[in-house]
Every structure is written in C-alpha cells, then in structure tokens.
Amino acid sequence: MRDEVDLVVPVKTLGRAKTRLTSATGGDPVSHAALALALAMDTVSAALATPGVRRVVTITSDPAVASEMAALGVESLPEPAEPGLNEALRHGARTLGSGRIGALQADLPALRSAELQAALEAAGGRRAFVPDRQGTGTTLLLAAPGGALDPRFGVGSAGHHRISGAVALLGPWPSLRCDVDTEEDLRLALTLGLGVHTANALPAWTT
C-alpha cells in the first residue's frame, strides 16, 4: 500500500435520505430512517476494518447519525454553510488535511473490506474512482496522495469523474459497486451478503 487513505463519508439527514428507496419500507418514516442509517453504519464499519484506511469521518447535520457514528468511534463534521454533496465533501477533505483523501458513498451495505482494500491498491498513486454497478454513478473517489479530491458527484458522476481525469477502477468488487438507491439494489445487496445493521433493519418483504 503506497499511502494510507482518510475517507470522508457523506450522510444526508435521515428524514430526507434515500427517497428512491421509500417504497421498500412501505412509506413508514421510522423504518425508512432506520434503514438509511443502517446502510451508512454498515458502510462505515467495513471501511473502518479495511487495511489502508487510516481514518473515517462522516459529514452530516443529523444528530442521530452523528451519535451512532460516535458509538463506532467515528467523528462527524457538520455540513458546511454551502449546501450540496460536493460542497460537503470538499469541506470534509479540507478538514482532513494533506494526506491521501477519499470519498466513499454511505449506501454500500454489502461492502467487503477486502474489496475496498483491493480498490485502494489498484489506484496506486493516481486520482481514481470506482463506478457503481450500472457504470453511471460513483461509489468511491480517491485523490492522488497530497492532491485535490475535486468531487463531481451528482447525476452521471462516473462520466464527470472520468472527464476530469480520474482513472476508472473496474475490478471484481461487486460489494463496492452495489450502492443501494432502489428496492432492486437492495435485493441485489441481500444476495451479496448484507452487513449486520442493514440485515436487522430489513423490510418485511425480504424475509
């Protein structure tokens, strides 16, 4: 491993998160918030267990998220004044400082540490990204050591990261590429093997 990585994990306020997944929990806001939190907890737990990851911080203005992350030993930074995902990530990267920085999406409930470690190693010293399984979104963006993260998340982010010069990493890492946006994604993540938090927060239709 060339350089250890400090990861920023953005987590939206639970009441506004994962709107495309609303049908999975039958419209019940309490179950929905619990599921959104569980996705983030499993993502962060796997990241914490990954060799090559030095530090994980979340960016969130949700006190419930910050409190659960603190129980995992993870610091949460509040959102910056400027709204939006990329602004939150830039704020996290600035706070983490001059090491090697990465952004990991918080909706990877099947994430395996070995797959994240393999992606970090495949990046070498390059600014790089891992597209989601559809090839359109981004699940992981890595700055070069000491370099800028330059996040371009949002619709079609994989294309934007590629155009900005980041190298696409396309290894055999299904758990790292399976972000959960929809019920279909959740079904696939279930077949890959969910982390314990999400397994305990699953909606009734999965059992």
| CB of residue 136 to ligand PEP, shortest distance in Å | 7
Please write down the long-range contacts of 163-169, taking CB distance under 8 Å and 24 or more positions apart. 165/127, 166/126, 166/127, 166/128, 166/129, 166/141, 166/142, 167/123, 167/126, 167/127, 167/128, 167/129, 168/128, 168/129, 168/130, 168/131, 169/119, 169/122, 169/123, 169/128, 169/129, 169/130, 169/140
- Comparing CB distances to ligand GTP, the nearer of 46 and 145 is 46
The residue with tokens 């910056």 is: 80
Residue from 6, 79, 115, 179 in contact with ligand PEP (CB under 6 A): 179
- Structural tokens at position 36: 């959104």
Q: Which stretch binds ligand PEP (CB under 6 A): 25-33, 38-46, 59-67, 151-159?
A: 151-159
| CB of residue 181 to ligand PEP, shortest distance in Å | 5
Residues that bind ligand GTP (CB under 6 A): 10-12, 17-20, 59-60, 79, 84-85, 88, 105-107, 181
Strands (DSSP E) along the chain, which ranges?
5-10, 53-59, 75-77, 100-104, 128-131, 138-142, 167-168
- Comparing CB distances to ligand PEP, the nearer of 158 and 194 is 158
| CB of residue 10 to ligand GTP, shortest distance in Å | 3
Q: Per CB under 6 A, which of residues 108..137 are in contact with ligand PEP?
A: 137
| CB of residue 12 to ligand GTP, shortest distance in Å | 4
Determine how β-strand 75-77 pairs with β-strand 53-59: parallel
Q: What are 100's strand-pairing partners?
A: 5
Q: Which stretch binds ligand PEP (CB under 6 A): 70-78, 94-102, 149-157, 164-172?
A: 149-157
How far, CA to CA in Å, does 10 sit from each of 2, 78, 110, 161, 170? Answer: 25, 10, 17, 17, 23
- Comparing CB distances to ligand GTP, the nearer of 115 and 132 is 132
Q: Is 43 in the site for ligand PEP (CB under 6 A)?
A: no
Q: Which residues bind ligand PEP (CB under 6 A)?
A: 137-138, 153-154, 157, 179, 181
Q: Which residues are annotated as a binding site for phosphoenolpyruvate?
A: 138, 154, 157
